[in-house]
């Protein structure tokens, strides 16, 4: 698949997770494990071939290396995702950001870009973020 070919909805969701994980120039093992777990577990990935995860992540990384790569990825994802999955994409991004129990400034910036790109309301954002905090809280 070339960079110019359309991507699937599932690949667009993977791109969302990758840009958050890669935003601080370091994809941690916990973040990668979280991405893999969500792809295996969530209904939105039900028929997705897990052998396509790494190539999808690599394609996203290639686009990110281009000039204005982040905005190219956001545009590509916005063109592919149906509106009803905007909150899902944001929730996946938040899960990846929370995976290593420390959210970096770069990750916060990406999450802000996603909130703006998807025009998510404050109540939806707060609920998604609060849920992630609850899921990742240590005893």
**Residue spans of beta strands (DSSP E) within the chain:** none
pTM of the model: 0.90
Residue among 132, 80, 91 at smallest CA distance from 115: 91
Cβ-contact 8, 55 below 8 angstroms: no
Q: How far is CA 112 from the centre of its chain?
A: 13
Q: What is the C-alpha to C-alpha distance for residues 76 and 7, in angstroms, rounded to an integer?
A: 8
Separate counts of helices (H) and strands (E) for the chain: 7, 0
Tokens of 1: 């698949």
Cβ-contact 56, 15 below 8 angstroms: yes
Domain spans in the chain, listed from the N-terminal domain onward:
9-136
Q: What is the C-alpha to C-alpha distance for residues 46 and 9, in angstroms, rounded to an integer?
A: 12
Q: pLDDT (tens digit, 9 = 90+) per residue, 9-50?
A: 999 999 999 999 888 777 878 888 889 999 999 999 999 998
29: exposed, middle or buried (C-beta count within 10 Å: 0-12, 13-18, 19+)? exposed
pLDDT at 1 over 50: no
> Domain 9-136 is classified in which CATH homologous superfamily?
TerB-like (1.10.3680.10)
Residue 86 confidence (pLDDT): 96
């Amino acid at each position: 698949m070339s960079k110019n070919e359309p991507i699937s909805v599932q690949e667009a969701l993977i791109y969302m997770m990758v840009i958050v994980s890669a935003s601080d120039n370091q994809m941690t093992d916990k973040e990668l494990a979280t991405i893999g777990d969500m792809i295996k577990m969530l209904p939105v990935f039900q028929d997705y071939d897990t052998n396509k995860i790494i190539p999808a992540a690599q394609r996203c990384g290639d686009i990110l290396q281009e000039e204005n790569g982040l905005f190219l990825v956001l545009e590509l994802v916005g063109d592919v995702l149906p509106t009803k999955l905007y909150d899902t994409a944001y929730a996946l991004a938040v899960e990846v950001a929370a995976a290593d129990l420390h959210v970096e400034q770069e990750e916060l910036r990406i999450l802000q870009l996603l909130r703006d790109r998807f025009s998510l309301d404050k109540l939806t954002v707060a609920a998604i973020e609060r849920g992630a905090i609850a899921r990742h809280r240590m005893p």
